[in-house]
Amino acid sequence: MVQTLIIVGGQWGDEGKGKIVDFLTEKADVIVRFAGGNNAGHTVVVGEKTYKFHLIPSGIIHKGKLNIISNGTVLDPDVLVSEIKTLENMDFDIGKSLIISSSAHTILEKHRVEDNPEKNPESKKIGTTGRGIGPCYKDKIARTGIRMGDYVTKNTASAQKLRPLIQDTYIIIDTAYKKGKKILFEGAQGTLLDIDHGTYPYVTSSNPTAGGALTGSGFGPTKIDSVIGIFKAYITRVGEGPFPTELGTYNQTKNEDSIYDLKKELSDEAFTRLNRKVTSAANNDDEYSQGRLLRMQGFEYGTTTGRPRRTGWFDAVAAKYAIAINGLSSLVITKVDVLNHLKEIKICIGYEVDGKKLDHFPLDTEQQEKAKPIYTSMPGWDDDITQITSFKDLPKNAQDYLEKIEEICKVPISIVSVGPKRSQTIIKDKETLL
Ligand code: GDP
Ligand code: IMO
Ligand code: MG
């Protein structure tokens, strides 16, 4: 039986962690967000409603659960208060369902100023979210930061609002564990953005990996039953940095219209025509169009700016790396529906660097930048799979694609997601789930 489960992003973020955390929360009692700050954006779709969370655990929508923001996070008080107020306006009883660690660190105005990509060439080089994440963690490590327990003693409106929610959260987590409660640790970002294990320096400033769930919450490794990694059926990256399976160039992507501009300028009919044109070019081996199709069908556009995200084929070399770093018990593959209508789908099974074959993920930035993907190809499917509810009802080619990922990665897939809604979730193997 699984009592404690860590959920991490297996790629460069935005893998659909929010959706899966919400889905699995039904069986959980306590949800702990353990790292990062409001650089994260987790989207949860329930019925006709779409919720977007930056700091509050995605478990909050299920009433009667305890949500904890633990010590590994960095919190911008104004953003947190605004997220709380939005939920209170929707009748969520935050006082009963949210607790914040006294030792989480506080993002201050100076951190946001320092991280402004318009003014700081370092932030621009990495393509940070500009939310003050790096500078706040820098102060934490230099032992000059302000922890939430101290922040809330101030006399500001935000401090007053947050004061009743502050507690020493490790005790609460430990007590719940001893009572047999089910605990779900919710990661933000992704393995390849990890400060230690990611594509440094193009990373975030925390440990979004499984180890970070432990230091970030004060929970011991011997008490973890299962760790699952969320992966898209392809891969995306926001911001700068190496990307071996990128389709088209970053410049081509950057120069594309934002989805909002596209929708504004084009009628629905013209938009459908463009989609058809891109699909046709994609199925005629045009790599940039393949990437563009993933972007359009997967709605891969930044939540705030609408700018296009970089897209590429599933990178099994990077996935195997994530499996090793996190000790993954199973994989969750999301957005499989986005691959609908592609004639051929590729999986990267190795890299070539300077003419030599490499079958593991290199840690050297130059090698990561030089890595050329070696692919295996799988036939696609033309059916719409968004209403399918069991693995055996998926088109044979979709089943084969997913089983190929299992075969290469040597880890079972527990969940397949075919759309943003709760109902669009297929449980393939529940052994490693709550
Ligand atoms: P997170 O940061 O890992 O929580 O992921 P985001 O929420 O930033 O991005 C994932 C996006 O894909 C969200 O808009 C989700 O609603 C959406 N999504 C999640 N799973 C699926 C899926 O299986 N299919 C499709 N089409 N969309 C999905
Ligand atoms: P979720 O939780 C995707 C990326 C930024 C940038 C780098 C460093 O939604 O998956 P930072 O502001 O953290 O110093 O930026 O990390 N990044 C993310 N990319 N999803 C995220 O979170 C991210 N959080 C940070 O784009 O490249
Ligand atoms: Mg996101």
Q: What is the DSSP string of 17-62?
A: HHHHHHHHHTT-SEEEE-SB-TT--EEEEETTEEEEESSS-GGGGS
Distance (Å, rounded) from C-alpha 335 to C-alpha 233?
6
* Whether residue 180 has pLDDT greater than 80: yes
Please give the residue that has the higher pLDDT: either 265 or 92.
92
Q: Are the beta carbons of 215 and 331 closer than 8 angstroms?
A: no
Give DSSP secondary structure letters for 241-292: S--TTBSS-HHHHHTSPPHHHHHHHS-HHHHHHHHHHHHHHHTTT-HHHHHH
* Whether residue 304 has pLDDT greater than 70: no
- Ligand 2 neighbours, Cβ below 6 Å, are 9, 12-14, 39-42, 126-129, 131, 133-134, 188-190, 193, 204-205, 238-239
Mean pLDDT score, 271-277: 88
> Which atom of ligand 1 is found nearest the CA of 230?
3
Please give the residue that has the higher pLDDT: either 18 or 302.
18
Assign 67 a pLDDT band (cuts: 50, 70, 90): very high
Please indicate whether residue 42 is annotated as part of the active site.
yes
Cβ atoms < 10 Å from Cβ of 307: 16
Of 22, 29, 42, 115, the catalytic one is 42
Distance (Å, rounded) from C-alpha 139 to C-alpha 207?
16
DSSP-assigned beta bridge partners for residue 416: 333, 426
Tokens of 160: 């007053």
DSSP-assigned beta bridge partners for residue 399: none
Q: pLDDT digit string (tens) for 326-355?
A: 999 999 999 999 999 999 999 999 999 999
Q: pLDDT digit string (tens) for 380-404?
A: 999 999 999 999 999 999 999 999 9
Tokens of 311: 């897209």
Distance (Å, rounded) from C-alpha 250 to C-alpha 308?
10
Question: Could you say which ligand is closest to the alpha carbon of residue 417?
Answer: 1
4-231 has which fold?
Answer: Adenylosuccinate Synthetase; Chain A, domain 1 (3.40.440)
* Whether residue 261 has pLDDT greater than 90: no
Q: Which residues of 36-50 are buried (b: 16+ CB within 10 A; e: fewer)?
A: bbbbbbbbbbeeeee
State phi, psi for 207 to the nearest 5 degrees. -105, 90
Cβ atoms < 10 Å from Cβ of 327: 15
Question: What is the pLDDT, as a whole number, of residue 271?
Answer: 82
Assign 269 a pLDDT band (cuts: 50, 70, 90): confident
Please indicate whether residue 174 is annotated as part of the active site.
no
Nearest CA to ligand 2 atom 13: 204
3-state secondary structure of 311: strand
- Ligand 1 neighbours, Cβ below 6 Å, are 9, 13-19, 41-43, 45, 334-335, 337-338, 417-420
Instruction: For residue 342, count CB atoms less than 10 angstroms from its CB and return exposed for 0-12, middle for 13-18, buried for 19 or more.
Output: buried
Unique residue bearing structure tokens 């699995």: 24
Instruction: For residue 429, count CB atoms less than 10 angstroms from its CB and return exposed for 0-12, middle for 13-18, buried for 19 or more.
Output: middle
How remote is the CA of residue 419 from the centroid of ligand 1, in Å? 8
State phi, psi for 153 to the nearest 5 degrees. -80, -10
Which range among 41-50, 181-190, 225-234 shows the weakest confidence by mean pLDDT? Answer: 41-50
Distance (Å, rounded) from C-alpha 67 to C-alpha 64?
10
Nearest CA to ligand 2 atom 25: 39
Assign 262 a pLDDT band (cuts: 50, 70, 90): confident
Question: What is the pLDDT, as a whole number, of residue 265?
Answer: 75
Tell me the average pLDDT of the chain: 96
Mean pLDDT score, 132-140: 98
Containing 141, the helix (H) or strand (E) segment is helix 133-141
Question: What is the pLDDT, as a whole number, of residue 132?
Answer: 97
DSSP-assigned beta bridge partners for residue 379: 344
Assign 1 a pLDDT band (cuts: 50, 70, 90): very high
Assign 159 a pLDDT band (cuts: 50, 70, 90): very high
Tokens of 309: 């995200």
Q: Are the beta carbons of 415 and 427 closer than 8 angstroms?
A: yes
Of the chain, the percentage scoring pLDDT greater than 70 comes to: 99
State phi, psi for 189 to the nearest 5 degrees. 55, -145
* Whether residue 8 has pLDDT greater than 80: yes
Assign 206 a pLDDT band (cuts: 50, 70, 90): very high
Per domain, the residue ranges of the chain are 4-231, 250-311
Q: Which amino acid is at 350?
A: G
